[in-house]
Amino acid sequence: MKGLLQLYVQQFKTTFATMFQYRASLVIWMIGQVLEPLVYLIVWSTVSNGNGGSIESYTTGAFVSYFIILMLVNQFTYTWVMFDYEYRIREGYLSFALLKPVHPIHSDIADNIMSKSITLPVLTVIAIILGLAFHARLSVTPWLAVLFVPGLLLAFALRFLLEWTLAQSAFWTTRVSAINQIYFFLLLFLSGQIAPLSILPRAVQVAAKILPFYWTIGFPTELLLGKITVTGALLGIGVQVVWLTIAVFLVRFVWRLGVKAYSAVGQ
């Protein structure tokens, strides 16, 4: 455990050093992270205003809050491993990772935590400015605020493991970008990134709640927004735990198969 902790600390330093080698691209990347929810925020606020100030249970102010919180939640749970994996395999980095007596997932976890501890404070400031500029409304109860913490952490763990599992498709195919596109399309639609799930058709809501996508972004966002009851929040956390258990199993299972496939072919 101590060894793993030291590894995390060292990986934090490495990520920190790497990120500051490319300061400009870091800024550009953060702008991109802000722009997408900002576009949805403006679109839905306009539609809401045109609809007499609300759509279903969402007032214009609630839309603004939803997309600002979503921006932060998405940033918190976002991973880039699906874009990296194919490159790692093609360039032989995975071989070096396999030669080391530590599972490569640890580097990714540490890398993720460090990157976010740099980008999140900046995005939080941007979120506050946007909230003030667009008159966001937030009415959260203390219980929901407390439950938001495990909800968010579980959302990150779940999304991280699912994306790590999917990223491993690179073990079998060199065309991972097609898989990534399908995944990100589903995520965009079913996680609540494009619109709050509760204003989408009932069938979509059911599908989204059966699948894991909603639990990685939409759920913690609606939780903090006060759109879920305390019971609903507890149930949601229960669903997250179930999905997380499945994801842990999946990531291990696919890893074992993937390494076997990789070891059969080599790179």
Binder of other proteins out of 95, 124, 181, 229 (CB under 8 A)? 95
Query: What distance in Å separates the CA atoms of residue 192 and residue 208, rounded to the nearest whole number?
Result: 9
Is there binding between residue 178 and other proteins (CB under 8 A)?
no
CB of 260 to other proteins, least distance (A): 7
Task: Give yes or no for residue 173 binding other proteins (CB under 8 A).
Answer: no
Decide whether 132 or 264 has the Cβ nearer to other proteins: 264
CB of 100 to other proteins, least distance (A): 5
Closest to other proteins by CB, 69 vs 110, is: 110
What the block records as the tokens of 165 is 């599992």
Q: Which residue number, 56 or 91, has a Cβ lying nearer to other proteins?
A: 91
Candidates 54-62, 96-104, 126-134, 192-200 — which segment interacts with other proteins by CB under 8 A?
96-104
Q: In the complex with other proteins, which residue's Cβ is closer, 135 or 256? A: 256
* Interface with other proteins, residue 133, by CB under 8 A: no
Cβ 189 vs Cβ 196: under 8 Å: no
Give which of 176, 216, 169, 222 is closest to 200, Cα–Cα. 222
Site for other proteins in 73-92 (CB under 8 A): 91-92
> How far is the CA of 139 from the CAs of 162, 185, 191, in angstroms?
32, 31, 22
CB-count exposure of residue 135 (10 Å: 0-12, 13-18, 19+) = exposed
For 164-227, give the DSSP string. HHHHGGGGT-S-HHHHHHHHHHHHHHHTTSSS-GGGS-HHHHHHHHHSSHHHHTHHHHHHHHT-
Which of residues 6 and 245 has its CB atom nearest to other proteins in the complex? 6
Length of the chain, please? Answer: 267
Compute the distance between CA of residue 166 and CA of residue 10 in angstroms, rounded to an integer: 27
Return phi, psi of residue 195, to 5°. -165, 150
249 sits near other proteins (criterion: CB under 8 A): no
- Which parts of 4-23 interact with other proteins (CB under 8 A)? 6-7, 9-11, 13-14, 17-18, 21-22
Strands annotated E in 24-88 = 54-55, 58-59
Considering only 27, 35, 102, 178, the residue that binds other proteins (CB under 8 A) is 102
* 98 forms part of the interface with other proteins (CB under 8 A): yes
Interaction of residue 201 with other proteins, rule CB under 8 A: no
Q: At its nearest, how many Å lie between other proteins and the CB of residue 18?
A: 5
Residues that bind other proteins (CB under 8 A): 3, 6-7, 9-11, 13-14, 17-18, 21-22, 91-93, 95-96, 98-102, 260, 263-266
